[in-house]
Amino acid sequence: MDRVSGDPATSEAVLAEMRRQHETVTLIASENYASPAVLESAGSILTNKYVDGVPGAREYMGCEHCDTIERLARDRLCALFGTEYANVQPYSGSVANLAVYLSALRPGDRILSHATGDGGHHTHGSPDHISGRLYDAARYGVDPETGLLDYAEIAAIARRVRPHLLICGASAYPRTIDFAIFGEIAEEVGATGLADIAHIAGLIAAGVHPSPAGHQEWITTTTHKTLRGPRGGAIMCLKEDAGAIDAAVAPGIQGGPLMHTIAGKAICFAEARTEEFRHYARQVVTNAQTLAAALETEGLAVFSGGTDNHLLIVDCEGTGLSGHAAEAALFAAGICADHCPVPGTGQEYATAGGIRLGTPAVTTRGMGEGEMQALAGHIATVLARPDDRDTLAGAREEVRSLVTGFLPPESPLKD
Ligand SMILES: *Cc1c(COP(=O)(O)O)cnc(C)c1O
C-alpha cells in the first residue's frame, strides 16, 4: 500500500479501486491479476531510464542493465512459444499489430481479418481505427448456425479478395482457432499470415490451445490478458524479419521503451513456464466450461453451445435485455462483465445483444467449479429480475461474501 503513498488524493482512489477489485468479481475476459513480482517490477526505478534502440545498440549511455533485462524477456518469450525472434517493446497489443502492418504492408494494401461484430478486434481493420483507414480491409465472420469459423468460406473469400495479410485471432471467439488451416489459406493465396493471440496467449503457452508458431509468419500478443503479466504487447516473428520489426516498433511508431514493463514481461514469461501456470490455464478452461454449462442449466442461451477456451458469450435475446442493460444489472450485483455483439447476427458493439464472460481473473483468485456454479446462479437471478432492487442487493451481498474468500494474489489485505 505504501506504493501509492505521498499523494493522498491518488492513494485514496487506488485503495478504493483495490477494494472494488476485491469485493466484486470480474468476468471481463481480458482482465486478470498480475503477480506481486510483476507489480513490483512495474513500480520499479526502471521507469527512470531512457533506452531507445535494442539491446547492444542503444541511443543512450547507461543501458547495460536494461540490456540484460530486455534480452531475458526476448529469449524467454521465444522459448515460451518456440519462435525465432521477439520484440518485447510494444506498449500494447494495438501497437504490436500496427508495427506488423508497418513492416509487412504499404498503405492501400489489402488485409483480411475476423469481423469486429463477429468477435474480431477493431485494430484488424475497423473503419474507426487507423488500420481501416490506411489499408483496404475485408472481413470474414462466423457461421451463424454453429458459431464456428467456416474455413471453406474464409478460403473462398481469400481467393476472391487476394489479401496481402491474412489475420486470424479474436477478442470474442469461444472456440479453438485452427492456425494450421489459416496458414494453408495464406500460403495458397500468397498472403502473409498474422496470428493475434492477445486473448489466448496464456492458454497457448500452457499447451491448452494449439499454437500458431510455424503456421503464421507474425504473432502478436498482449501480455496482460490470459498471460497474466504487465499491461503491454509483444511481437514474435522469423529472424529474417528482426530488423524490419525492430525499426517498425521504434522509431516507426513508438518512442522510448518502457523498461519497467519489459522487466514485468520477463518475469511473466518465466512464470508462464511453471507447472502452477499450466494448472491455472487448464482450470481457466474448466471454469469457463463449467460456467457455460451451469448458465445453460439456468435457462440462458450460451452462444455456440459452450466454449473451448477462457470465454463464453451469453445471447440475451431470451431475457428481453440488451447487452448494455444486462451488463448494467450484473454490475449492480457486483459482477463485472461486458456487452458484446452476438456473432453472426449483424450486431455491432453499439447494438450488442450479448454479454461476454471470461474466467482468467476468477481462476487466478483460486475459484473453481463450485464457485462457477454459484456465479451462474447469481447471473441467472439478476438477468431474470434486472429491475428489482432487492434482488440486485441480495445478489451483491452473496457475490461479495463468495469472492472475498478469494483475494487476488497481490492483496496486502491477506495478512
Ligand atoms: C485486447 C486485444 C488487442 C489490443 O490490446 P491492447 O493492449 O488493449 O491494445 C489486440 N488484439 C486482440 C485480438 C485483442 O483482444
- Among the atoms of ligand 1, which is closest to the Cα of residue 199? 15
Q: Kindly indicate the confidence band of residue 2, based on its pLDDT and cuts at 50, 70 and 90.
A: very low
pLDDT confidence of residue 415: 45
Q: What is the mean pLDDT of residues 274-286?
A: 98
**Region 138-147: what's the mean pLDDT?**
95
Mean pLDDT of 289-306: 98
Confidence tier at 3 by pLDDT (50, 70, 90): low
**Closest C-alpha to ligand 1, atom 3:** 93
> Which protein residues are within 6 Å of ligand 1, measured from CB?
30, 92-94, 97, 121, 123, 169-171, 196, 198-199, 222, 233
Average pLDDT, the chain: 96
Over range 140-156, report the average pLDDT.
96
Report the pLDDT averaged over residues 81-103: 98
The three three-digit cell numbers of residue 363, written as one number: 481462476
277-403: CATH superfamily = Aspartate Aminotransferase, domain 1 (3.90.1150.10)
Q: Which ligand 1 atom lies nearest to the CA of residue 197?
A: 13
Q: pLDDT at position 409, please? A: 86
What distance in angstroms lies between residue 222's CA and the mean position of ligand 1's atoms? 6
| pLDDT value of residue 412 | 58
The answer as to CATH 3.50.50.60 being correct for domain 39-271 is no
Summarize the confidence of residues 29-47 as an average pLDDT: 96
Mutate to test the pocket of ligand 1, among 111, 116, 121 (most ligand atoms within 8 A of CB): 121
Average the pLDDT over 57-65 and give the result: 97
The average pLDDT across 224-231 equals: 98
Kindly tell me if the per-residue pLDDT of 6 is higher than 90.
no
Ligand 1 atom closest to Cα of 95?
9
Spans of all domains in the chain: 39-271, 277-403
Ligand 1 center to 235 CA (angstroms): 12
Read off the pLDDT band of 411 (50, 70, 90).
low
Q: Ligand 1 pocket: which of 89, 118, 123, 349 to mutate (most atoms <8 Å of CB)? A: 123
pTM over 0.75: yes
Ligand 1: nearest atom to the Cα of 120: 13
Query: What pLDDT is attached to residue 413?
Result: 55
Which of ligand 1's atoms lies nearest the C-alpha of 196?
A: 13
Q: Is the pLDDT of residue 60 over 90?
A: yes
Mean pLDDT of 206-224: 98
